[in-house]
Structure 1
């Protein structure tokens, strides 16, 4: 079943949501050349910047057209006075866990490898699973495409289709899920599970020729290392990025907080090296903008050929789709949190708009009671970003229409 939701907001309502009047958007006096006409990109960036800086959270965003940066902004703190590191500004060069945006990166890595090895997305995964793992019911039917669209039939060890915990996204957890198998009634049905993409950390090394030893500790370490090296060499470096890892910078972490600010010490999510795949990569807003724009909204074919890009978008591999009043969008958001007395966490997203416009947005705080994007009216990050884009385009063109957003899978990812 495909879940759908429709969000409607009037132009005036969204102006209140963003906390500014886009008709009067302009850069700071030092940024404007006399007589220079502002573009709608300037207005888009101004809208986001003015709204986010009012929240006293750490944030960074980049807006690109065909891979060229057209607007950007950052503000707030990555580390507050409550932390051992003291106050540190959140900038466009701040490394942060990108959470489930990593799933698109796993997709890029697999499709790049599939092109090298002559594989199809409809090929089955079973030949590439460790020979010593017991394959449960219907595991032999699962394809790579099933994993990349969350239609494998994997619903977690709890049989509830609640996204699996950390224990299901480490090597022993994968082994348990494969042995458990999947029910015929679940095959082909959408069920968002980290394990679907986490398994690529095992599958990609196997496709590359890794010979499993049967020793779980050895195979776990070796597949982690080989997966990370493959993604670094064939995705990040081909997009012009170096030194991308699945861990916080040494002694320079980006903390996660709650919103509104409570004074509680921030949360350091730590090291994701042994779970990287479905989540875990750490990028800066600038790096993420460059990566997702280069691969997904330019003619560059270093990572993916045009045909494989079409496959990724057409089949919703590692991305989700939506429609707005100004055209279709594709995206993948990210969500990571700790909930004790309140939520502390991060929210991230890449979103591709019409005409090869790409936007990336990171924030290092979640609403303390809802655990999603730090808005005051319940608007989450997908609607927040897409509506800002839509209203900016409409008002720049002198039109004001009701905004309309339809998402196939509106839940946070």
Structure 2
């Protein structure tokens, strides 16, 4: 039991109360003097996360799956507080929240599914599928689908600073401007994280499907939005049993974004992303996100992606990132969306694929008020938080001591 104490103590935010709770749960006999079922390492990981998060007075939900089967889950806090027009409502595993850049993985999955249907390669050029009326600037004809999905297209934003753009560069007009601006040959192939790389797929996927662009911006904008939304719904969400997904809050039932610790500001409603969805914008529940990413990336199910395309996505880091823990390699994508007035308010989300087909999804609807990252007191962000909890509870299964180390190629929030 001393080894268990030492492991759990090193997970951020876990205190003596959790240690005593874990020990009591594992050692205490049940009703009628029955010996309870032995706890699995999934139980310990779930309890460690739950006990850490519930002390923060934030809304949260997480699901941990093994080969698509839920092994642990937890939720707590509020999706809206008593000060909001909707009143206080709990954050549950069925709470819809903006998943922000987790949408990039969804878009990458959608393109790969379509590529398999149409016989395309990730190294094919994007230019033939852009609207004919758009002026193609310098080197646009050299950009490939893979360039977009790995942020190596050469797109660095309208301001030429590589500062990531949101609305202005991801609606129809902004994407058209970026294509007309073109990219410098010196920037091609260099990593520059830009939402527009994935925002362009909202136009490209309909183009690949055969949409006949009219040349009328308003018509083409609305039609490509609809085609993209319908394609993702029918080919990505529905095959795994998820229906009626929107790029908008559920009507009259929003999930607000808050600051941590909670100050005097009311919550913030991220709102509707229908006209910019692609790099961000989808609303999912923790249960839905867990089901989606685990089914597509951690099971033998090939209704969305074949085994070869799954390997392509993960190996080439298409709409995903890679890291290494003490237990082996991981793949993930985190999401980050915020508003800053006097302090940060926002959401943080992540899917992470661990060794042996273990997938975890974690949503929180608050950001640290001054740092703008995951609501921790010690500066730990969501990628480090989740991977460390995994690495430090994993020895309960393997019996091997873990250092909880983590190396990330791109450690910045996305």
TM-score by length of structure 2 reads 0.94
| C-alpha distance in 2 between matches for 1:68 and 1:14 | 27
Q: 1:15 deviation in Å?
A: 3.7
Q: Which residue of 2 aligns with 1:335?
A: 336
- How many residues align? The count is 404
Asked if 1:18 is matched to 2:14, the reply is: yes
Distance in 1 between residues matched to 2:25 and 2:377, nearest whole Å: 25
Q: Give the C-alpha shift of residue 166 in structure 1.
A: 1.1
Q: 1:224 — aligned with what?
A: 225
Q: Is the 8 A contact 2:67 2:295 kept in 1?
A: yes
How far 1:280 sits from its partner (Å)? 0.4
Name the SS for the 2:10 alignment partner. helix
Partner of 2:61, secondary structure, is strand
Cα distance in 1 for partners of 2:30, 2:170 equals 46
C-alpha spacing 1:200/1:30, structure 2 compared with 1 (3 Å): farther
Contact 2:29 2:35 in 1 (8 A): no
Superposed CA offset, 1:128-151 (max 9, x none): 011111111100000000000000
SS of the counterpart of 1:371?
coil
Unpaired runs of at least 5, structure 1: 1-9
- Tell me if the contact between 2:29 and 2:36 (Cα under 8 Å) persists in the aligned partners: no
Matches within 5 A, 1:6-405: 14-15=10-11, 17-19=13-15, 20-21=18-19, 24=23, 26=25, 34-405=35-406
Rounded to whole Å, the distance in 1 between the matches of 2:8 and 2:225 is 50
Computed over aligned residues only, the root mean square deviation of the Cα atoms, in angstroms, reads 1.9
1:394 Cα deviation after fit: 2.2
Structure 2, gaps ≥5 residues long: 1-5
Q: SS of the counterpart of 1:167?
A: coil
- Going from structure 1 to structure 2, the CA distance change for 1:29 and 1:146 (only over 3 Å counts) comes to farther
Q: Which SS does the other structure have where 2:336 is aligned?
A: strand
Contact 1:129–1:202 (Cα < 8 Å) also in 2: yes
The alignment partner of 1:37 has SS state of coil
- SS of 1:43's equivalent in the other structure is helix
Closer/same/farther in 2, CA of residues 25 and 268 from structure 1, 3 Å limit: farther
Give the C-alpha shift of residue 215 in structure 1: 0.7
Summarize deviations over 1:91-124 as a string: whole Å, max 9, x none: 0000000000000000110000000000000000
Deviates more, 1:30-39 or 1:322-331: 30-39
CA distance in 2, matches of 1:216, 1:379: 44
Q: Contact conserved, 1:121 with 1:144, CA < 8 A, in 2? A: yes
Instruction: Give the drift of 1:82.
Output: 1.1
- Aligned partners of 1:293, 1:123: CA distance in 2, in Å? 28
- Tell me the residue number matched to 2:3: none
* Cα distance between partner residues in 1 of 2:241 and 2:320: 22
Q: How many Å separate the matches in 2 of 1:168 and 1:233?
A: 27
Find the aligned partners of 1:303 and 1:396 in 2 and give their Cα distance. 31
Higher relative contact order (CA 8 A, sep 6+): 1
Normalized against structure 1, the TM-score is what? Answer: 0.95
Instruction: Classify 1:150/1:28 alpha carbon distance in 2 versus 1 (closer, same or farther; 3 Å).
Output: farther
CA gap 1:85/1:11 in 2 versus in 1, 3 angstroms = same
Residues 263 and 24 (structure 1 numbering): CA distance in 2 closer, same or farther, change over 3 Å? Answer: farther
Task: Go from structure 1 to structure 2 and tell me whether the alpha carbon gap of 1:27 and 1:263 turns closer, same or farther (over 3 Å shift).
Answer: farther
